[in-house]
Every structure is written in C-alpha cells, then in structure tokens.
Structure 1
Amino acid sequence: MSQPTLRQLSFLTAIADHGSFVAAAEQSLVTQPSLSAAIKELEAVLGAKLIERGRNGATLTPAGEIAASRARAILSAVDELGEAVQGAAEPLTGPFRLGVIPTIAPFFLPKVLPRAKEAFPKLKLYLREDLTSRLIDGLRAHTLDAALIALPYEAQGIDTLPLFDDEFLFVGPANHPLSKKPVLSASDLEGESVLLLEDGHCLRDHAIGVCGMTRPGQEEVRATSLFTLVQMAAGGLGISLLPKMAADAGIVADGLTIRAFTPPVIGRQIGLAWRRSSGRLIEIKALSAILKSA
C-alpha cells in the first residue's frame, strides 16, 4: 500500500497556511503544476478529496483539515528526530535560536551573551526579539528553539522553567507627590494615572495587576517600549512601573525618580520556554543555568 511522502505532506500544510496554490508553491520553491500534481497524488493515496478550489483561493475539506493537522504532527516529529540525533552526537554546538521579549532583551542579554559565548564557544546563538505570543508561535513552528519570557504562561505543548524574579520599581517625575512620599507601597498607585505599554506586551498585564487597575481604559496614554515609557514619565505625563533589570541597566532620564516599594513588589517571574518534544534539552538546560547565574 502506498504511503504519503513528506514532500506531499509539506505541500498540504503550505496550502493550509496560505489558502492558495500559488502562494504555497512559492513558499515550497516548486512550480504550481508540480504542487498540484503532488496534492492529487496525496488525495489518491488517502482516498479522499482534501482541497476545494474556489474564487477566493483554496480551502481544506473536513478530510483535508484532519490530514493537515496530522501532517503537521508528522513533520514536527521528523524535525525533532533530526534535532535529537544531532544534539546527542555533538551537544552544545551549531545554531541555537533564542527568542526574547522586548522588556527583557536590551537589559538582560548584554549580561548573558558573553557568559554563554565563553561557556559554549561552539554554540551559535541567534536572537529574535518579539512579543510572547509570537515567540510561542515560533517555538511551535520550529523557527525557535527556546524563548525567554515572563511567567506564568500556559500554552499547549510548551514546557517552561522559572529562572528568577524581577522586582518592579516606581518611576515618575521628581515633582510628583509619590516621588516625595517617605514610604511608598504598591497600594499608593491605586487611582493614579499610570502609564502602560501598549496591548500585546505581557509587562502591561503584570503592571495592571500590581496597580489594581480593573476598569478598561483607565489609562489613556500607552508607550511602545520601556525607553519611550521612561521618557513619557520624565516629561510629566504620569507615573509607571519599571522592571529592576531595566533600571540596573541604566534606563534613566533627567527629572525622573526611580525608587523601590516597601515591601518590594515582585512584578513578574522570568523563565525559559521550549517545545515539550524538543530534541535540544541538553542545550536548553545548559543555557538555563547560564541565564540563571546572570
């Protein structure tokens, strides 16, 4: 009995991703007739129609949806097989693709990269800075091997390892009443106009939790990065919360007050995430030790 080939399965998932034979062929670096022929062969092998052509492109039939889902799992398993064999043969060598969220990358990586290079000279780290949700997508798509994110974060098929806690500090204009308050606690932020990052940043959600903000739209001005947020606070637009790792890295501005809360506010936990089926656990565990030590 004939069996589907990996080539046919990859073509099917490409069509599922793009909804178009043309786009799928371009991604797969083949001609459209070659891709169409391979899909017809796959349909013959499986004994079911998988793709419906229409004016709006190509759509999967119910059988095609099932086939595409299984195809992804098979292709993923093949990728994991290669990673596992290569990792066992010569661990801590070759490329390793690490994702990092923007509120960590510029402040923490300068400490980590020299240590990682010294400890694992044959391991080539490739870095990608992006929001958590897109980093998780990258892990699932095998475009990333691990990601440094804020925890907790639940995602199917993803394992995480806590590394360290990150304290939140108060940041605001020097003339703000809270900047001059002898003892500052997190409860003092309730009812204040708090500057936050824009939607999509996990730091925004952690800050909202600390500030006790429950009403949507309580804040009107949102920053695109911590650097912008600090400048906005220095300009008198409001107060905010700043991760201690960013403060320690020297993200300051004139006319700005940065101070700790009493008791200290642990705003988030930093950890490493990876595919549960990853074949690079040796590298992940070794890298986690370097990250934790930093």
Structure 2
Amino acid sequence: MTPLPTPQQLRYLVALADLGHFGRAAAACAVTQSTLSAGIIALERQLDASILERGPAKRPVFTPLGLELVGRARAALAALSAVAETAAAARDPLTGPLRLGIIPTIGPFLLPRLMPALRKAFPRLRLWLREDLTDRLAEDLQGGRLDLLLLALPAALPDVETLRIAEDPFVAALPQEHRLLDQAQLPLSALGGERLLLLEDGHCLRDQALSACGLPGAGGGETFAATSLHTLVQMVAGGLGVTLLPRLAVAGGVLAGTPVVLRPIETPPGQVMGRTLGLAWRARSPRAPEFRSLAPVIGEAVAAAVARIGATPGAGGGG
C-alpha cells in the first residue's frame, strides 16, 4: 500500500502554492523554511513524483502533476476539516469561530447594523471577516480559508450552495440641478441618454447595473469606472454622470456630505430593479444548517437598513 501523505504535508503544499514563496509559506505554517522544504521533498519521495521543477527560479514552480496534487490537497484538507466541523456543529451550533467573506458593496453599509444583531442572537459566535471581490472570496471559500460568503446573487460559484436572503433595490443618483430632477420617479428609459458611471471590472454591482439598464457587458458606450461606491458618488457629485446605487449603501451613509440627489426608478408591478443578497457555502458542508439559521438575522438587518430611506428617497444623504 502506498503510504498516505500527512495533513501537515498537504498544508505545506497548499501554503506554498498560495503564497508562492518558501519563507512566507513556512511562516504561515508556523515552521522553519527548512522544515517546510524537507516536508515537500519527503512528500515527493513518498509519492515517487516530481511536484516542483528544479532550476534557478527563486519562486517555486509547480509541475503539471504538482498543480493537480495541490487541488487534491485542498479537497483533502477541506474533507478533514469537515470531520471536525461536523462534531462541533452537533455539539454546540453557532459557537466558536466563523470565517465570513463579504463583498465591499455590502460590508461597510450592513456590518454596523448586522454585527450587534449577530452578537445578540449568537453571543458565543466569534465572527472573523474578510472583505474582497466575489472571485477572490470564492477562491478562499473553495480553499477552506473561508466558511461562508455574503454576496450578491446570482454568482458563478462552482460546487457551492446558495441561499437568497433579501432584495436590495436600486435608486438613481443624480448631480444637483440635473435636468431629470423635476420628475418624482424616473422611467428607466430616461437614463438611456445619460453617461452611466460604473464600478470597475471585478465588482459584481457593475454587471448588475448594466443588466438593469439593459446594456451589454462592455458598458454600451463611454463609461468611467470607480474603485468604490464612495468614489462613484463623488464622481456623480462632480457632474460627470449618473449612476445606480443600492438602497443598502444609501442607508449606510454613502451619500453623506454630498449634494447628490436620489430618485426612485419606475418598475413594473411585482418587479424589483436591484440585486439579490444571499449566502454561499461549500456544497455538502456539515455546517449548512448553522448557515441557514443565520439567514433570518441577516435578512432582518438588511430589511431594517433599506427601510430607513423610505419609498421615495430625496437629496443629500438619502432622505
């Protein structure tokens, strides 16, 4: 029988692939660099396989087989973690650490309201947060570095289970003295001739705004890209164009101190022009029942925040 790799050897392998540097990988694994290097060499001998290319390159270069083994090592470590998680979840649900990834168009605007609600509902839960774009959070979820994501749906996430939590409608954001401000509500067609300001590529909100306006992925003409919603609002305030903002961001103060004016967007009865917020976790995670029990608390926090700006938001901070 072929001797099986140890979990520690697999951790060395994954850390080296993630960090691309022997010293940083060793520090992440709390061992010396020589210990990590020896562990990788021992794994190669044990498997009778070349995992790394040997040459002058200072950074580790994985062979094709080595890259495949990294993927399998991730899956094996996730399965081992699931064994411990299953026991912990059965023993005492929603206690101890939970690593939550959240996208930047949600985190700053929801967390000040959500964190107190979670502490009250689950006082023994220790929540660790990471804010990043959806693609990178998805990588961390699959790699076992995160347990749960709070993001906008739909999202192209392989081998995950998702749960819809709440709707977050869009409102139009206009500069002061804009020609459309005489209308209490804006038909979507009214925005057709305007310069639409967007977030840069990688933000899911960019694609959702384009979809809401019926524009192609490239933006349908000249556009300007911002790195954050706060920057986007400043661009609108400067008269560069108009944009769509989630009500959650408006309720969270994204307009504070700006002269930007909001107008609701006319939508057909029964339809919501906006985004859907939801949770995502690894398929077959033993903690899935725990994650589902978080949904009502998060949904209530979203609903309470969105309701703050009312049905017809106005100027200067959302009304």
TM-score, normalising length: structure 2: 0.83
Partners of 1:171 and 1:242 within 8 A in 2? yes
Which segment is superposed worse, 217-226 or 136-145?
Answer: 217-226
Deviation at 1:167, TM superposition (A): 0.8
2:308 maps to none
Give 3-state SS (helix, strand or coil) of 2:110's partner: helix
70 and 251 in structure 1: CA distance in 2 versus 1, 3 angstrom threshold: closer
What is the CA distance between 1:22 and its match in structure 2? 4.4
Inter-partner Cα distance in structure 1 for 2:45 and 2:139? 32
Q: How does 1:229-268 map to 2 (within 5 A)?
A: 229-252=232-255, 253-263=257-267, 265-268=272-275
Match of 1:218 among 203, 221, 226: 221
Which of 124, 134, 137 aligns to 1:135? It is 137
- Does the CA contact (< 8 Å) of 1:166 and 1:243 recur in 2? yes
Shift of 1:165: 1.3
Q: Which moved more, 1:90-99 or 1:40-49?
A: 40-49
Deviation (angstroms), 1:161 = 0.7
Who is 2:280 aligned against? 273
Of 82, 85, 105 in structure 2, the residue corresponding to residue 83 of structure 1 is 85
State the secondary structure of the residue aligned to 2:171. strand
Per-residue CA distance 1:248-290 (angstroms, 9 max, x = gap): 3343345332111112752211111111142322321111121
| Residue of 51, 61, 64 corresponding to 2:63 | 61
Question: In the TM superposition, what is the alpha-carbon distance from 1:131 to its structure 2 partner?
Answer: 1.4
Where do residues 89-238 of structure 1 align in structure 2 (5 Å cutoff)? 89-181=91-183, 183-214=185-216, 216=219, 218-238=221-241
Distance 1:211 1:61 in 2: 46
- The Cα of 1:159 is off from its aligned counterpart by 1.4
Contact 1:195/1:219 (CA < 8 Å) preserved in 2? no
Provide closer, same or farther for how the CA distance between residues 239 and 29 of structure 1 changes in structure 2, counting only shifts above 3 A.
same
The amino acid of 1:259's aligned partner reads R
2:242 partner letter = I
Determine the C-alpha separation between the residues in 2 that align with 1:142 and 1:246: 29
Inter-CA distance 110–257: structure 2 relative to 1 (3 Å threshold): same
Does the aligned pair in 2 maintain the 1:169–1:242 contact within 8 Å?
yes
Q: Which moved more, 1:12-21 or 1:78-87?
A: 12-21
Instruction: Flag the 1:24–1:177 CA change in 2: closer, same or farther, 3 A.
Output: same
Higher strand fraction (1 or 2): 1
Q: Amino acid of the residue matched to residue 104 of structure 2? A: P
Q: What SS class does the counterpart of residue 52 from structure 1 fall into?
A: coil
Q: From the superposition, tell whether residues 45 and 127 of structure 1 become closer, same or farther in structure 2 (CA, over 3 Å).
A: closer
| Distance in 1 of aligned mates of 2:83 and 2:297 | 26
Contact 1:92 1:282 in 2 (8 A): no
Letter in 2 for 1:221: F
* Count of aligned pairs between the two proteins: 294
| Aligned-partner Cα distance in 2 for 1:107–1:36 | 44
Gaps of 5+ in 2: 302-319
String of CA shifts for 1:147-199, please: whole Å, max 9, x gaps: 11011012112211111111111110231112223552112111310111122
Identity %: 47
In the aligned structure 2, how far is the partner of 1:107 from the partner of 1:48?
49
**AA in 2 matched with 1:6:** P
Q: Contact 1:80–1:277 (CA<8 Å) still a contact in 2?
A: no
What secondary structure sits across from 2:53 in the alignment? strand
Contact 1:196 1:223 in 2 (8 A): yes
Per the TM alignment, residue 19 of structure 1 is displaced from its structure 2 partner at its CA by: 4.6
Counterpart residue type for residue 74 of structure 1: A
CA distance in 1, matches of 2:75, 2:292: 25
Gap change, CA 1:17 and 1:103, over 3 Å in 2: closer
Q: Distance in 2 between matches of 1:144 and 1:15?
A: 18
Q: State the AA in 1 paired with 2:174.
A: G
* CA shift in 2, pair 1:159/1:48, >3 Å: same
Name the Cα RMSD after superposition: 2.3
Q: Gaps spanning 5+ residues in structure 1: where?
A: none
